[in-house]
Amino acid sequence: MTDIHSLDHARALDAADPLPTLRSEFHIPQHDGGDQAYFVGNSLGLQPRGVRAQVEDVLDKWSMEAVEGHFRGHSQWMSYHRLMREPLARIVGAQPEEVVAMNSLTANLHFMMVSFYRPTAGRPAILVEAGAFPTDRYAVESQIAFHGFDPATDLIELAPDQPGGVFSMASIERAIAEHGHRLALVLWPGVQYRTGQSFDIGEITRLSHAQGAMCGVDLAHAVGNTELALHDSGVDFAVWCHYKYLNSGPGAVAGCFVHERHARSDVPRFAGWWGHDAATRFQMGPHFQPTPGAEGWQLSNPPILGLAPLRASLDLFDRVGMKALRKKSLRLTGYLESLISQRLDDTLQVLTPAEPERRGCQLSIRVRGGREQGRSLFEYLAANGVLGDWREPDVIRISPAPLYNTHEDILRFANGVDAWRQAR
Ligand SMILES: *Cc1c(COP(=O)(O)O)cnc(C)c1O
C-alpha cells in the first residue's frame, strides 16, 4: 500500500498532477533558506511575478505621456477597467456587462444596498448568517438604521444548525420562508470565511425571490476559489475583493456584479461621473445618464496603479480556467483531509463540511484540547515555515491555493503537526 505520508508520494502526486503548478509564476515567501508553506491565500494571496511589469507599465506611461495616457494605446486609462471585465466575467460566470472592478468590497456592498435594499414599513428586514464577517454586519446594520428602521428587529441573523457552525440548506430554506414576508434582502456568503462552507447561490436566490426579496452575495472567499455561475444563478448583485484568492495585492481594487436584469433599470443609485455613459461623459452635461450594466455604478475615474496588479493575476487565471483550477483544488484539499483523518484525528477536528461540493479549498481545523494547545501548535508550525491563520478560540484555517500550493506543502503541514504532537 502506498504511504500517503511519504515525501516521495507527495512529490509524485505533484509531478503527475494533470494541472501543472503555476508556482514559479509567484514570489514565494522564504523561511530558513527555503520556501514557506504558505496557506493564507484566503487572507492575502501571493504576488504574481507579472505584477511588477504591469505596475511599471503604468508608471512609464505616466512619466512619458502624462495626461495623454488617458487616450493613447491599448492600455489607455480611459478604458483601463475594461481590460479586466472579460477575464473577471469568466471567473465569476457572468456576462462582461455584469461585472466591474471598482472601489473596495465594503464600499461596493453599501452602493449595492443603496440600489437593492429598498425597505418599506411592511418589508424592512435583511437576513444574514449569524457570525458574518464584521464589516458585512456593520454595513447591513448601518443601512437598516440609515433607512430609519431598527436593526434589533430588522436584522435577522440565522444561527448555524449543524456542528462546527455549519448550515443545512433546510435551515436556510426555513428561515427564508418564516421571515419571507418581511424580507427586503437576503445577503449570504458564497463561502463562509470562518468555516469554509460554500453555498448554492442559485438555490438561495430562488428561495429569496420566491418570497419577494432581493438576494445579494459576498464572494470574498469564493471568487477564484469555487466555480461560480452568477448570471445563471439569477442573484441580483455580488461583491468581492481581489486580494485573497485573486492575488492582486493588499487593499486591491474590488469587484462587483449586477445582474443583467438590472442593467438598464432606473433603480436609485449613488451616481458619479465614471458611471455616466462613456460616449457622452466628456460632454460634461448636468444630467446623469448611466452606462448600462455594472459599469453604471462606478463613481470615480479608477486608480490605475491599483488596477495594474489585477491584470497580471487575471492572466494567470485565464491560462488555466476555473474548471481545471477547481479540480486541482479538490485534489489538494482532499489530500489535506486524508492526511488529517488517517493520522492526526486525535489532534485535529475538521469543521468544514466533508462533502466537496459544500466547501472551497479551505479547511477550518479545530485543535483539540482548547486554546492553549491551539496557539502552541499554530506557533510551532509558523516557526517551522508552515503558515496558516488563526481564528479564536482554537481554529487554524489552512487554505491550499491551487495556483501555487503543492501536495508537498500540504505534507509539510501534516508533518509539522505530527512533530509538535511528538514533542509534547
Ligand atoms: C475579507 C472580507 C471582507 C473585507 O472587506 P474590505 O472592504 O475589503 O476590507 C469583507 N467581507 C468578507 C466576508 C471578507 O471575507
Across 293-299, average pLDDT? 97
Q: Is the CB of 221 under 6 A from ligand 1?
A: yes
Q: Is the CB of 297 under 6 A from ligand 1?
A: no
Q: Is the CB of 245 under 6 A from ligand 1?
A: no
Distance CA 125, CA 149 (A): 9
Last residue of a domain, one of 297, 318, 339: 318
Taking alpha carbons only, the member of 251, 242, 207, 205 closest to residue 224 is 242
In tens, the pLDDT along 248-260 reads 999 999 999 999 9
Across 126-142, average pLDDT? 98
Q: What confidence tier does 147 reach under pLDDT thresholds 50, 70, 90?
A: very high
In tens, the pLDDT along 156-204 reads 999 999 999 999 999 999 999 999 999 999 999 999 999 999 999 999 9
pLDDT at 174: 98
Residue 45: inside a domain: no
In tens, the pLDDT along 53-69 reads 999 999 999 999 999 99
Last residue of a domain, one of 318, 350, 371: 318
> CA dist 402 to 322, 398, 406, Å?
10, 12, 7
Q: What confidence tier does 74 reach under pLDDT thresholds 50, 70, 90?
A: confident
Average pLDDT, the chain: 97
Atom 14 in ligand 1: residue holding the nearest Cα: 220
Distance CA 213, CA 59 (A): 46
Q: Are residues 170 and 308 in the same domain?
A: yes
Q: Is the CB of 103 under 6 A from ligand 1?
A: no
Q: Is the pLDDT of residue 377 over 80?
A: yes
- Quick one: DSSP state of residue 280? T
- Quick one: DSSP state of residue 160? P
What is 28-53 written as a DSSP string? PPEETTEE-EE-BTTTSPPPBTTHHH
pLDDT at 226: 98
Burial of 5 (0-12, 13-18, 19+ CB in 10 A): middle
Ligand 1 center from residue 252 Cα (angstroms):
11
Q: Which structural domain, as residue segments, surrounds residue 221?
A: 54-318
Last residue of a domain, one of 265, 296, 318: 318
Q: Is the pLDDT of residue 1 over 90?
A: no
Q: What is the CATH number of the domain that holds 359?
A: 3.90.1150.10
As for how many domains the chain has, the answer is 2
Q: Are residues 282 and 307 in the same domain?
A: yes
pLDDT at 32: 95
Residue 48: inside a domain: no
Residue 99: inside a domain: yes
Could you identify the residue written with the cell 496558516?
388
Q: Are residues 359 and 279 in the same domain?
A: no
Q: Are residues 394 and 363 in the same domain?
A: yes
pLDDT at 112: 98
Q: Are residues 201 and 107 in the same domain?
A: yes
* Cβ–Cβ < 8 Å for 109, 240: no
Q: Are residues 169 and 186 in the same domain?
A: yes
Q: What confidence tier does 73 reach under pLDDT thresholds 50, 70, 90?
A: confident
Q: Are residues 249 and 377 in the same domain?
A: no
Q: Is the pLDDT of residue 18 over 70?
A: yes
DSSP β-ladder status, 237-240 and 214-218: parallel
Distance CA 280, CA 272 (A): 14
Burial of 210 (0-12, 13-18, 19+ CB in 10 A): exposed
In tens, the pLDDT along 92-110 reads 999 999 999 999 999 999 9
Exposure pattern of 27-37 as b/e (b: 16+ CB <10 Å)?
ebeebeeebbb
Across 100-129, average pLDDT? 98
Ligand 1 pocket mutation pick from 44, 105, 193, 246 by most atoms within 8 angstroms of CB: 105
Atom 4 in ligand 1: residue holding the nearest Cα: 105
Q: What confidence tier does 25 reach under pLDDT thresholds 50, 70, 90?
A: very high
Least confident of 44-48, 75-79, 214-218: 75-79
Q: Are residues 265 and 147 in the same domain?
A: yes
In tens, the pLDDT along 324-336 reads 999 999 999 999 9
Q: Are residues 281 and 352 in the same domain?
A: no
